[in-house]
Amino acid sequence: MFNIRKILTVSDYVTMLNIISGLLAIFLNSFSFVYLAVIFDSLDGYVARKTNTVSDFGAELDSISDVVSFGVAPAYLLYTNFESTLSLISAIIFCLCGALRLARFGILNVKGFIGLPIPAGALLVVSFCQLINNKMIDSIFAIFVGLLMISDVKYPKYPKKIFIYMFAISLILAMFGIPHFALLLCLIYAIYGLIKHFNR
């Protein structure tokens, strides 16, 4: 009756934790669960490679969970923070761009990323909203990040190990209410790609 369980691997269960975190971010209106979702999202790829269980099903489930945690959740948090027409429109634009970014990623087979990856986009919007509570600035920023996700700007895939450790620490700090370092790291990453793009 439930043969689907036969195709589920350990990394798929980690992906499910990503979806659950994204849903909790929405249901409980909590920024922290978006950071937790990023941790699970980073973990599932790692687990899939380590356990040699990279699969088409896993990749599909990954895209589907990413739009929940990094598309809908940040959009919802942005909208409910202000409940204005402007935040509604920018939230929709951000989530739409995220969905387009994920769909393009699903069909491309290139080294590195084209367009800012959606977890980085989500982190930017969520940490920015948490730190700067201004309807106009937050909404324009979210639209800018959305456009960066569907742009042709290239981003490196796996940064150096020291960067990954810093990133992990910044996420844990963000989960406990200190999103400054996560914002800073993601801003550096976003701007780095932009500078390289215009200096080609």
Nearer to a second copy, 42 or 151 (CB): 151
Indicate the angle between helix axes 10-27 and 56-66, nearest 10 degrees: 10
Nearer to a second copy, 69 or 170 (CB): 69
Residue 25 as a binder of a second copy (CB under 8 A): the answer is no
Binding segment toward a second copy, per CB under 8 A, in 38-46, 70-78, 127-135, 175-183: 70-78
Binding segment toward a second copy, per CB under 8 A, in 3-11, 40-48, 120-128, 157-165: 3-11
CB of 2 to a second copy, least distance (A): 6
End-to-end CA distance of the chain: 55
* Binds a second copy (CB under 8 A): choice among 10, 103, 164, 168: 103
**Closest C-alpha to 137, from 186, 81, 59, 64:** 81
CA dist., res. 93 & res. 95, Å (int): 6
Please list the alpha-helical segments (H only) found in 51-154: 56-66, 73-82, 85-107, 118-131, 135-149
Unique residue bearing structure tokens 């043969």 = 3
Nearer to a second copy, 56 or 161 (CB): 56
Residue 190 as a binder of a second copy (CB under 8 A): the answer is no
CB of 59 to a second copy, least distance (A): 9
Beta-carbon contacts of residue 122 (< 8 Å; ≥ 6 apart)? 34, 38, 69, 70, 71, 73, 74, 98
Please report, to the nearest 10 degrees, the dihedral formed by the alpha carbons of residues 148, 78, 28, 25 taken in order: 0
The residue ranges that bind a second copy (CB under 8 A) are 1-4, 7-8, 16, 19-20, 23-24, 26-27, 56-57, 60-61, 63-65, 67-68, 71-72, 75-76, 79-80, 88, 91-92, 95-96, 99-100, 102-104, 106-107, 115, 147, 150-153
